[in-house]
Structure 1
């Protein structure tokens, strides 16, 4: 059974944190689904992931194309067609406890400056941990990522 990692973004923007986490996930050999709630946010992330920074290009695609199954990273608003072993939830996209059990890891990234995003993340934490999912809460408030809370699987 996988774990859910909650990332409270207060310093780096979503695009920067996502790029780092996707890079590490691909290095681990995982296929990744990035699940959002709106086309606008997925469009923005798609555009940002096409930029080639010093650390290199991140291969990815948008769901609904003919090659979804081949994508190492698939941006989607629903189920992923690339058989992911890691799911990243952005902008409060839903995550079910059963999904966590099928993944190596689920990551929930949320904006620490948005009260609605904070509330959604709290609700997700409560629902997943109540369902017996192991979860870790990470904060970058100090300027570097630190684990602030942990809930063991039951």
Structure 2
């Protein structure tokens, strides 16, 4: 059964949160795909993951890097899954028609953006209607994730 998580950003930005979420996915032994809304955003995330921390490395790539199946983390602006990801992150309003092939799908949305919140609510409703297990996570004042629903 696919789990669908909703991560509501309030205290930190996507750029601050995404690397940690990806590290946790790799620790579980999951390959990951990150779907953004545009090729430009994919390239920005690609650059971010190379340099987000001096003492860490996240093995990743995008279509521009070639050999997609070899990357434990694959960045895309499409619904493709050439690296066989078990978890898919949807950022910047990216949409996924069918989540059933994933162990987990994670919507990461900016709580300060009314449009993003409305899109997340619609995605929550659709995920429940499709019979997926859904949960909602929100940052506390220290930036830690707390399950709210």
- Normalized against structure 2, the TM-score is what? 0.92
2: CA distance, partners of 1:59 / 1:121 = 28
1: CA distance, partners of 2:55 / 2:14 = 17
Which residue in 1 is equivalent to 2:139? 140
**Unmatched 5+ residue regions in structure 1?**
150-154
Provide the aligned length of Structure 1 versus Structure 2: 147
Q: Which runs of 4+ in 1 moved over 6 A?
A: none
Q: Is the 2:19–2:52 contact (alpha carbons within 8 Å) kept by the matching residues of 1?
A: no
Which residue in 2 is equivalent to 1:59? 59
Which residue in 2 is equivalent to 1:83? 84
- Normalized against structure 1, the TM-score is what? 0.89
1: CA distance, partners of 2:26 / 2:67 = 18
1: CA distance, partners of 2:129 / 2:47 = 36
Q: Does 1:73 align with 2:73?
A: yes
Q: Does 1:25 align with 2:25?
A: yes
Which residue in 1 is equivalent to 2:12? 12
1: CA distance, partners of 2:91 / 2:28 = 21
